[in-house]
Structure 1
Amino acid sequence: MPGSIYEFAQIPRVAPADARSRAPRGRRPRDTGKPPSIGVIYNPRSHRNLGADFDCGVSPQVYIAQPQARAQLPLALAEMAERGVDLLVINGGDGTVRDVLTCGQAIFGDDWPAIAVLPKGKTNALTVDLGVPDDWTLQAAIEALDHGGRVWRRPLSVAPAGSAPGEPAGRALGFVLGAGAFTKATQAGQSAHKLGAFNSVVVAVTGIWALLQSLFAGRSNPWRRGARMRIGLGANGVPMAHSGHGDPAMRQLLFASTLERLPAGIKAFGTLKSGLKLVAIDQIPRRTTALIPLALMGRLKGPLRDRGIHQLAATQFSLSIEEPFILDGEAFPAGDYRIEQGPELAFVTP
């Protein structure tokens, strides 16, 4: 986890001059015979980017931007919108995707181009869900625009409580949100990265470590203590039920996502697949903790809620939390938030 906290006040704003108006583009017809217009956001700091990903011999209409900071993203995306790109290629990991979607929402609104993601980061949960191979290239993504598939996903929209619904300013878009032990797991994942573990391997390594901590540590251990939080379901903020295990003001873990396939084959949401899903774990006893691997593989039967494991879908939920939480690998500050679904996006797949 980065040492700094992602402050909502620091989300780059789009000046009116940058958010150039344009008519809706609609969807590009396939097999037009005309080369598509391609925009590439290339993150040179992503783990697997070595500066050699620009080989593109078939389509000459490729515009590549290499913003060095988040503040430069809105201008790069506004220029791509003005060009009317048919395909927006995000070359980076989950954090790069989060930043592009967050900065692009005020520019594209509900009229995003098709998006392709090249899995170049330390974590690439989105591309696991999309079924994109690790060695997917820019040229292959361009060819897939006309000859590949489409997967539609809506990212999580995270906004401070009280902000206007749907207002782009001050909200972040991403695909994986977690708190409590999830925050500790993200920190452990950073250590695993330094040892050479990435993607699903990181999930396995940190998962085993978290399980051991929860099994053998005391209640005061951060892995078992979790975080003090309140979760309200739906537009009316109905309080989430509690099993009675541990402190009702605490949750050992919170995990939410709109992805349908998770790394390492994890089935954190049980049989739930589409839409906004979340799992919350109370301060469960050790004997229930030992069953967590079975729950993650979808093999634990019976009423999980009575055991302190809550799996559900929601149109939206509110979160009041007293510790930082994680959105796509980066820490966000404690506070009061509204989490719902963002715009529906079309992702190009092989």
Structure 2
Amino acid sequence: MSRLGLIRNPKSQRNKQGGGDTRAQAAALLGFYFAEPATPAELRDTLADFAHDGVDTICVDGGDGTVREVLTALPAAFGDRPPRLAIMASGKTNLIAADVGTPGHGLKALERLVGAAQANRLGEKLTRRPILSIIWPDSEHEPVRGMFMGGGAFTRGTELANSHIHRAGFTQGPAVAIAMAGVLGRALIGNDQHGWLAGEAMGITIDGHPAPDGNRFLFLATTLERLILGLWPFWDHGAAPLRYLDIAANPPRLLRALPALVKGKPRPWMLDSGAYRSGGAEVLDLALPRPFIMDGETYPAGRIRLSAEDVVDFVIPS
């Protein structure tokens, strides 16, 4: 029989909206294998206990940030044999769950998972994904693992969404999309007062090959295979584990390019311009002058290396 553990974030969006009953039921169903760690150190200790006791499937009850924290802490506890994960999507942003699948959220989802574990059916439906690992080669910061990162306009859009739009009641991907649309709308009619289109002086190396020099308006990288709202601004990535989008500063005819860009189907003139670039990679080396966003969290600027050597299986009970 599979042994199921649950990591729950009581501060995630849906769990804050009346999760007391779910918490009590989770504790009753799972006992020692239910935890709400409040700090990274507590999370590491909890995962070490799970590993010691043979937990082979971990349910993550939270959003992308909670999944990121669990993915980051897994290697220290489980080494090179990670457990399977099941994502109960209960955060503001649930990009990961939208791609890998979810049993839902709340008590009904947990009961499905427990029932499947008891019947030894948790491994019947698996989605395997590479994990995006980021290290600072100068050892300035601890490594972090997740599935989606962005810099340039994406950082600014996320900061704007967090400070204004989430408060207005918008959650998940629409908040960042609304923020980006508002700023880009102003910029494209000549009111780019904050200089978004001028971009940032990023340095990018793709599998050891330097990308063209110059400022970047936007950079994205992911190991996901689909995003929410039908968005997929990547192309020519093949089977490479890292998919990236690299848009130069002051990209020509951006408004005209957007419909094709968000679908990953660039027009020939976009490719000819050299401003709209996408592809796949094993390793990306970035030099960032400003912070970047990894699964909803802001991380410091500097030299970073992205890779995707590790994989994790995500489960949905059948």
Normalising by structure 2, what TM-score? 0.87
Equivalent residue of 1:278, what SS? Answer: strand
Aligned-residue identity in percent = 32
Match in the other structure for 2:11: 45
Aligned to 2:101: 131
- Alpha-carbon distance in structure 1 between the residues aligned to 2:87 and 2:43: 16
Q: Secondary structure at the match of 2:254?
A: helix
The alpha-carbon deviation at position 301 of structure 1 amounts to 2.7
Q: What are the residue-to-residue correspondences of 1:1-350 with 2, within 5 Å?
A: 34=1, 36-49=2-15, 50-54=19-23, 55=25, 63-132=33-102, 134-135=104-105, 137-144=109-116, 146=121, 148-162=124-138, 170-190=142-162, 191-217=164-190, 221-234=194-207, 236=208, 238-241=209-212, 248-270=213-235, 272=237, 274=239, 275-285=241-251, 287-302=253-268, 304-307=270-273, 308-350=275-317
- Structure 1, unaligned runs of 5 or more: 1-33, 164-168, 242-247
Structure 2: how far apart are the matches of 1:58 and 1:73?
20
Q: Is the 8 A contact 2:3 2:55 kept in 1?
A: yes
> Residue 125 and residue 159 in structure 1: after superposition, are their counterparts in 2 closer, same or farther (change >3 A)?
same
Secondary structure of 2:159 counterpart? helix
- Cα-to-partner distance string for 1:1-42 (whole Å, 9 max, x where unaligned): xxxxxxxxxxxxxxxxxxxxxxxxxxxxxxxxx4x3211111
Distance 1:162 1:57 in 2: 42
RMSD, matched Cα: 2.4
* Displacement after TM superposition at 1:334 (Å): 1.2
Whether the 8 Å contact between 1:318 and 1:338 is mirrored in structure 2 is yes
The alpha-carbon deviation at position 262 of structure 1 amounts to 0.5
- Which blocks of at least 5 consecutive residues in structure 2 are unaligned? none
Q: C-alpha distance in 2, partners of 1:158/1:303?
A: 33
Q: Describe the shift of the 1:53–1:226 C-alpha distance in structure 2 as closer, same or farther (beyond 3 A).
A: farther
What letter is aligned with 2:203?
R
Instruction: Give the counterpart letter for 1:279 in structure 2.
Output: L
Q: Post-superposition shift, 1:135?
A: 3.8
Number of residue pairs aligned between Structure 1 and Structure 2: 303
Determine the C-alpha separation between the residues in 2 that align with 1:152 and 1:40: 20
| Alpha-carbon distance in structure 2 between the residues aligned to 1:150 and 1:195 | 36
Give the distance between the partners of 1:321 and 1:212, measured in 2 at CA.
Answer: 25
1:53 aligned partner, one-letter code? T
